[in-house]
Copies of this chain bind each other. A is one copy, B any other.
C-alpha cells in the first residue's frame, strides 16, 4: 500500500497555529514522525482557516523538504494553491485533487503534465457526492477518459471513491468497497485507487477500530493507496498484516519489524 501521511493539515489546531506563526519545527516534527512510521508520501493541506493558502502552501512544502525527501501531496480544491505548491515541490509531487468536473480536469491535467505530477481524481462533480456505485464508476471513467485524451499516463492517476462517514451514509460503505474493486478493472493499465481513510470514522466513538477495519476490507477489494495516520500503530500493524496475507512481503515471525525496517 502506498501510504500518504495525513497529519500536516491546518485543520489540526497545532498545525494551523504553526502555519500562522511560521513555526517550521512543529511541521518538520510531524513530517519526520510520519516518514519514520512508514509514510511513503505526505499530504500537505493549509486547512480551511488559512487566509493566504497561496503563500502558506509553498512555505509548508519548503520547510517539509528541508527534513524529508518523500513525495508531497498538495491538497487543495484551489488550482492556484496547487500551482503555487508545484513551483517549489520536488518532483514527482501529487496533485490532491481534481474532481470529475470538465473545467477542473481541463485545468489540472495540464498542470500535472507540466510538473510531472501524479493526480488524485475524486469521483465527485458539481452535483455533489455520488449516491451509489454506478455514479462513482461513471465519474471515475470520466476522469480516466479525460486523462487518456490528454495523454496523461493512467498509471499516474489515483481514483478516490470519496469515503463517507459510516454514521451518516452507512448504506454506502459496501457500495464504496465494490467501487474500489471495479475501479481496478476500469482500464488497462488500471488507475490506482486511494481513499482518505479517516472520513469513514468522522464523528464516531471508536475511530481507530473503524478506520483499520475499513482499511483492511478496502485492501481486500484492491485498494493500493491511502491517506491515513501512520502514527496509529494498530492501523499500521493491520495494514502490514493485510499486505503479508496478499503475499506482498515474505513471511517471517517478525514480519511487522521486517516491514518497518524496509
Chain B residues with Cβ below 8 Å from A220 are 177, 216-218, 220-221
Q: Does A242 contact B (CB under 8 A)?
A: yes
Residues from chain B with Cβ under 8 Å of A167 in the complex: 251, 253
- If A170-B251, A250-B170 touch, does A242 touch B256 (CB 8 Å cutoff)? no
Known contacts: A216-B216, A217-B217, A247-B170. The answer to whether A210 contacts B241 by CB under 8 A is yes
Residues from chain B with Cβ under 8 Å of A246 in the complex: 173-174
CB distance from A251 to the nearest CB of B (A): 5
A223 CB to nearest B CB, Å: 10
- Evaluate contact between B253 and A205: CB separation under 8 angstroms: yes
Segment 136-178 of A: residues with Cβ below 8 Å from B: 166-167, 170-171, 173-174, 177
Q: How many residues of A contact B (CB 8 A)?
A: 35
> Nearest Cβ distance between residue A237 and chain B, in whole angstroms?
6
Q: A247, B174: Cβ atoms under 8 Å? A: yes
Q: Inside 8 A of A245's CB, which chain B residues have their CB?
A: 166, 170, 173-174, 177, 200, 210, 213-214, 217
In the complex, what's the smallest C-beta–C-beta distance from A182 to chain B, in angstroms? 13
Q: Copies of this chain, how many? A: 2
Q: Are B173 and A247 touching (Cβ within 8 A)?
A: yes
Within 8 A of B (CB), among A230-253: 237-238, 241-242, 244-247, 250-251, 253
Residues on the B chain within 8 Å of A247, using CB = 170-171, 173-174
Looking at chain A's contact residues, the main secondary structure is helix
Q: Which residues of B contact A244 (CB under 8 A)?
A: 166, 170, 210
A209 contacts the other chain (Cβ, under 8 Å)? yes
Bound CA–CA A246/B220 (angstroms): 14
Residues of B within 8 A of A52 (CB): none
Candidate in A221, A242, A245 with the most chain B CB atoms within 10 angstroms: A245
User: Are A217 and B242 in touch, CB under 8 angstroms?
Assistant: yes
Interface residues of A in 168-215 (CB under 8 A from B): 170-171, 173-174, 177, 200, 204-206, 209-210, 212-214
Known: A166-B251, A205-B253, A210-B245. 8 other contacts (CB 8 A): A166-B245, A174-B247, A204-B253, A214-B245, A216-B238, A217-B220, A217-B242, A220-B220
What are 13 A-to-B residue pairs whose CB atoms are below 8 Å? A170-B244, A170-B245, A170-B251, A174-B245, A177-B220, A204-B251, A206-B256, A209-B238, A210-B245, A217-B217, A217-B220, A218-B220, A220-B221
